[in-house]
Chains A and B, each alone.
Chain A
């Protein structure tokens, strides 16, 4: 058997070997791009989807808020109540149903969906306000759609508080600031600034997690993985090379979403663009690692897709905070939300885009995201198999 030593003897220098690996890697990446480009339909969907999502979210949400019908029953009919009603009427979000004047008709109006919200001023409204510095208004909302009910009550309370602030002159009312944060940075109370970061998170999840997982599992399914494994090329590189096109595609998506939000939805990026993209790149890497992990654990494209959708996309929608406020969730779910990477990314993007915060304001979230990515990466590497089993 001694003769085999002679073949092994052909030692390459380290440099040329590394050079070869780089060349191989480049070939792999090129091949991946060919796959992506050949499948025009999927490519079209991947590029078009974020744009469509932005448009749908953007216009659907703003319309709803602008035309909400509200009933106002004014038992006070004093200066203060009239002032406040005037402000509500002046805002673009509500249209006052003038024909509903008493409580008896409220019930039916809610039932027939004529109104979504009702405001009842007690008698002596102004009196209470000026003498006791404390007055109450009743806000009744149609909570069959809890989300919009929450939003609408938020809007109406904001208007009331605005009025209150004005009444109190220059006197600051510190205890009122906390619940107002969202509106402070979003003075027009528009939905767009909230969902743009959400859409970015969603799209990245879809492209980076699902597409990566599917494209790797596809090689397993068609048997090409078998051939690649029996090659000198390191299996880990096979997988890493598959992530490159999706990394790029994801960045293109982030760019298109941000451009859309700035120029179509008029939501400017308050913070640093570079920081925004750096954080996006970090989140994309998190997603790619997740995609790789799923692809390692699954055998068919179907399963990979289901796992990505149910296991990744759903938690993103549920726990990132952009659809449902996390603060309102049970403690257990709040805990769970902490391991959802999208939650942290959503908060980062919101801070950068809307608040204009720099790295000093998002370093904690960034660190958590890095940690999650690192854990995922190590787990993926550990479970990676160099054989078929």
Chain B
């Protein structure tokens, strides 16, 4: 990446944003157009960015990743990675991207060490050469280096896969759902690793169905049914949330849910952890908080707590899906 920086400072000056990944009007269908996986998707990822593709399974994330990794051809639209077209320049792209598919794609019958060594050679490099990149992960894997990859736990498998995708110091890293099925602790660790990689200058494009992970990205694209709902920084997306969101809690939560749903006009709310999140747009008057409190008190609920909150990405996603 050093070479990239020096090259660009020379040509463009210091703060030039480089488009590392671009998609314009990408559409992909399967079964001769019957299944629409990706519809008219466009976005760009700048060099050095940590970009998140956030959406549930089946939203089209993997198709986008495969198109960028030169594994699939889009029906229409253009895409580039590191300046090369994904169709005509596939060979160049394959030389400098790291790709981690959605399912575990290493050799289960080879040991941790054998897998890493193998992928290092495939990518024309050695483990020693880029050790600094994988060091943080490898330290955690080291105790199990003689263990076969198939016998690792979910979190460790993903760390190993990441290690193998990183071994050749890619300029762009495509990670398709690296945290799916991984427990929250390992998930945090994986995201910490991604942040470190970003610091080393690697552009990271990552997808996840876990909305809470979106906040760690520089920018995110929310995606559902093959269409982009919104692209912005997490803060940007949150700031565009229309109206105010309230977190409501009382002693008997199922009853709260019932009261809110049967109220006329009904409040739009949904459970969220220990609270119920209520959208202010459903409230009758401007002061929704007072409204809510009154309604719940009238229903005889105790220990009522109503507070305005900053929406999370998940709230924003729900809002976009329901309107």
The answer to whether any beta carbons of A and B sit under 8 Å apart in the complex is yes
Q: Which residues of A contact B91 (CB under 8 A)?
A: 232
Pair B94/A232 contact, Cβ less than 8 Å: yes
B176's nearest neighbour on chain A, judged by CB, is: A226
Contact of A229 among B18, B71, B108 (CB under 8 A): B71
The docked-state distance in angstroms from the alpha carbon of A212 to that of B92 is: 29
Q: Which residues of A contact B124 (CB under 8 A)?
A: 20, 24, 232
Interface hub of A3, A6, A24, A232 (most chain B Cβ within 10 A): A3
Pair A231/B101 contact, Cβ less than 8 Å: no
Question: A105: CB under 8 A from chain B?
Answer: no
22 contacts between A and B (CB under 8 A): A3-B8, A3-B10, A7-B4, A7-B7, A23-B121, A24-B121, A27-B117, A27-B122, A31-B114, A34-B114, A35-B110, A38-B110, A39-B109, A222-B108, A226-B66, A226-B101, A227-B119, A229-B71, A231-B123, A232-B123, A387-B70, A388-B66
Q: Which residues of A contact B114 (CB under 8 A)?
A: 31, 34
Pair A227/B101 contact, Cβ less than 8 Å: yes
Pair B105/A224 contact, Cβ less than 8 Å: yes
Pair B92/A8 contact, Cβ less than 8 Å: yes
A-B contact count (CB 8 A): 103
Q: Which residues of B contact A24 (CB under 8 A)?
A: 121-122, 124
Question: B73: CB under 8 A from chain A?
Answer: yes
The docked-state distance in angstroms from the alpha carbon of A188 to that of B109 is: 50
Q: Which residues of A contact B8 (CB under 8 A)?
A: 3
* CB proximity of A117 to chain B, nearest CB, Å: 55
Q: Which residues of B contact A39 (CB under 8 A)?
A: 109
Q: Which residues of B contact A23 (CB under 8 A)?
A: 121
Q: Which residues of A contact B164 (CB under 8 A)?
A: 227
The docked-state distance in angstroms from the alpha carbon of A233 to that of B125 is: 12
Contact of B94 among A20, A35, A229 (CB under 8 A): A229
* CB proximity of A172 to chain B, nearest CB, Å: 65
Chain A 1-41 interface 0/1 with B at a Cβ cutoff of 8 Å (1 = within): 11110111000000000001001100110010011001100
Contact of B121 among A27, A226, A386, A389 (CB under 8 A): A27
Pair A3/B4 contact, Cβ less than 8 Å: yes
Question: A230: CB under 8 A from chain B?
Answer: yes
The B-contacting residues of A in range 216-232, CB under 8 angstroms, are: 222-224, 226-232
Q: Which residues of B contact A20 (CB under 8 A)?
A: 124
Question: B118: CB under 8 A from chain A?
Answer: yes
Pair A6/B3 contact, Cβ less than 8 Å: yes
* CB proximity of A350 to chain B, nearest CB, Å: 40
Contact of A233 among B105, B110, B122 (CB under 8 A): B122
* CB proximity of B171 to chain A, nearest CB, Å: 8
A386-B90 contact in complex given A31-B110, A227-B105, C-beta closer than 8 Å: yes
Interface hub of A20, A35, A230 (most chain B Cβ within 10 A): A230
A230-B97 contact in complex given A4-B82, A8-B92, A388-B72, C-beta closer than 8 Å: yes
The docked-state distance in angstroms from the alpha carbon of A6 to that of B7 is: 7
The docked-state distance in angstroms from the alpha carbon of A15 to that of B97 is: 24
Q: Which residues of B contact A31 (CB under 8 A)?
A: 107, 110, 114, 118
Pair B101/A223 contact, Cβ less than 8 Å: yes
Taking A7-B7, A34-B110, A224-B107 as known contacts, 6 extra A-B pairs with beta carbons closer than 8 A to each other, sorted by chain A number, are A3-B7, A39-B109, A227-B105, A229-B70, A230-B69, A231-B122
Q: How extensive is the interface on chain B, given as a class?
A: 35 or more
Question: B79: CB under 8 A from chain A?
Answer: no
* CB proximity of A288 to chain B, nearest CB, Å: 21
Contact of B109 among A1, A4, A38 (CB under 8 A): A38
* CB proximity of B86 to chain A, nearest CB, Å: 10
Pair A7/B71 contact, Cβ less than 8 Å: no
Q: Which residues of A contact B70 (CB under 8 A)?
A: 229-230, 387
The A-contacting residues of B in range 1-22, CB under 8 angstroms, are: 3-4, 7-8, 10-12, 18-19
Q: How extensive is the interface on chain A, given as a class?
A: 20 to 34
* CB proximity of B230 to chain A, nearest CB, Å: 27
Q: Which residues of A contact B233 (CB under 8 A)?
A: none
Q: Which residues of A contact B110 (CB under 8 A)?
A: 31, 34-35, 38
A35's nearest neighbour on chain B, judged by CB, is: B109
B108's nearest neighbour on chain A, judged by CB, is: A222
Q: Which residues of B contact A386 (CB under 8 A)?
A: 90
Pair B11/A3 contact, Cβ less than 8 Å: yes
Pair B71/A3 contact, Cβ less than 8 Å: no
Pair B3/A7 contact, Cβ less than 8 Å: yes
Pair A387/B7 contact, Cβ less than 8 Å: no
The docked-state distance in angstroms from the alpha carbon of A224 to that of B104 is: 8
* CB proximity of A180 to chain B, nearest CB, Å: 54
A389-B73 contact in complex given A7-B4, A231-B122, C-beta closer than 8 Å: yes
Q: Which residues of B contact A7 (CB under 8 A)?
A: 3-4, 7, 82, 96, 171
The A-contacting residues of B in range 130-152, CB under 8 angstroms, are: none
Interface hub of B90, B95, B107, B108 (most chain A Cβ within 10 A): B107
The A-contacting residues of B in range 223-261, CB under 8 angstroms, are: none
* CB proximity of B202 to chain A, nearest CB, Å: 14
Pair A227/B99 contact, Cβ less than 8 Å: yes
The docked-state distance in angstroms from the alpha carbon of A2 to that of B90 is: 19
Question: B103: CB under 8 A from chain A?
Answer: yes
The docked-state distance in angstroms from the alpha carbon of A228 to that of B69 is: 11
* CB proximity of A11 to chain B, nearest CB, Å: 13
Question: B106: CB under 8 A from chain A?
Answer: yes
Q: Which residues of B contact A388 (CB under 8 A)?
A: 66, 71-72
Question: B83: CB under 8 A from chain A?
Answer: yes
The docked-state distance in angstroms from the alpha carbon of A3 to that of B171 is: 14
The docked-state distance in angstroms from the alpha carbon of A387 to that of B107 is: 20
The B-contacting residues of A in range 249-298, CB under 8 angstroms, are: none
* CB proximity of B13 to chain A, nearest CB, Å: 11
Pair A2/B11 contact, Cβ less than 8 Å: yes
Chain A 348-360 interface 0/1 with B at a Cβ cutoff of 8 Å (1 = within): 0000000000000
Pair B71/A226 contact, Cβ less than 8 Å: yes
* CB proximity of A10 to chain B, nearest CB, Å: 8
The B-contacting residues of A in range 355-389, CB under 8 angstroms, are: 386-389
Interface hub of A39, A224, A226 (most chain B Cβ within 10 A): A226
